Amino acid sequence: MPWQQMIFNELCVSSIKQTKFSDPNTIAAALRQLAEVLRLMSRHFGINVLRVHPDFKTYMPTEQYPFSYFLSAEAGILDEDARTLIKSRIDNSRYLEDLGQIIEQSGILVHGQRSSLFEYVDSIGGHLAQGLGAAFLLNEVAVSLITEECWLQEAISVEHVWESPDKSGSETVSVNHISQIAHLKLPIRIYEASAKHDPKTGWGSPMDLVSPEVDQVLIDAVSVDESKQIYSYSVRTKNYYVFLAHTFDHYHGFIEVEQKIPTPAKRQLRKKGLSP
């Protein structure tokens, strides 16, 4: 991926329809999806910066609760890992004040010598879109919570009106956008247990992981040269694993001793933060 950072689309939490979301479960589910996207963006692509709108925590997406409630331990909505991950991102990365390359002036984004106004247009009208606009200007990716169907898209179209010292213009532009795991284009790998590697009845090296843990370990696996095997590691079990494809995208796997894991594979896993 060519991006260095993610920029939060504030429209997905400000409710462009100017109404409150009636079901708190919608927000909770969206935050769980966001946590998984953030985790995978970090693990697979090394992207750890999420520029979050300063009003994120204080906005009231429901009649009863602000976002700070959904991110609190007391609410018990998110598990500790997901809650810590989201909070660390929004506490350490704010926009637009720290983007550096962009200055915000009453909704206008000044980038170099060009002033830009971005609007997301729907059946109601145009909505000021600072996060989407900043992502476009910096050629980065916008990230949304799936609070409405319009944020399910892999690219978001916005209207861009701009002015520079010698000319001006308007155009419809497409903004890189992520709101769900499918947008990350991760390798499609499906785990299917093999009787040979059953830890109780099998006759080969055992596999001690089951779904959903084994599914994630498989997704995290790395390849080396032209080898048919791919390699992974589980922090929980402290074991290395080998996976082989028995059809195009279906894999079985088993525990392997560290000495038999190729050094380049261990180096890749370590670089991605997946192994010691």
List the chain domain ranges: 6-184, 190-271
Whole-number Å distance between alpha carbons of 163 and 146: 33
Q: Are strands 6-8 and 50-51 parallel, antiparallel or unpaired?
A: parallel
Q: What is the largest CA-CA distance in the chain?
A: 76
pTM assigned to the model: 0.68
Per-residue pLDDT at 43: 72
Q: What is the pLDDT along the chain (276 residues), one digit of tens a residue?
A: 678 889 999 888 775 554 455 567 777 888 888 888 888 888 777 788 888 876 677 777 777 777 788 888 888 888 888 888 888 887 766 676 666 678 777 788 888 888 999 999 988 888 899 999 999 999 999 999 888 888 999 999 999 999 999 999 999 999 999 998 888 887 778 899 999 999 999 999 999 999 889 988 998 999 887 778 999 999 999 999 999 988 877 899 999 999 999 999 999 999 888 898
How crowded is residue 33: how many other Cβ atoms within 10 Å of its Cβ?
Answer: 17
Whole-number Å distance between alpha carbons of 167 and 162: 9
9 by DSSP, 3-state: which? coil
Q: DSSP of 212-244, one letter per residue? A: THHHHHHHT-EE-TT-SEEEEEETTTTEEEEEE
Per-residue pLDDT at 88: 83
Per-residue pLDDT at 120: 94
102 by DSSP, 3-state: which? strand
∠ CA(201), CA(207), CA(212), 5° rounding?
120
Per-residue pLDDT at 17: 52
Per-residue pLDDT at 119: 95
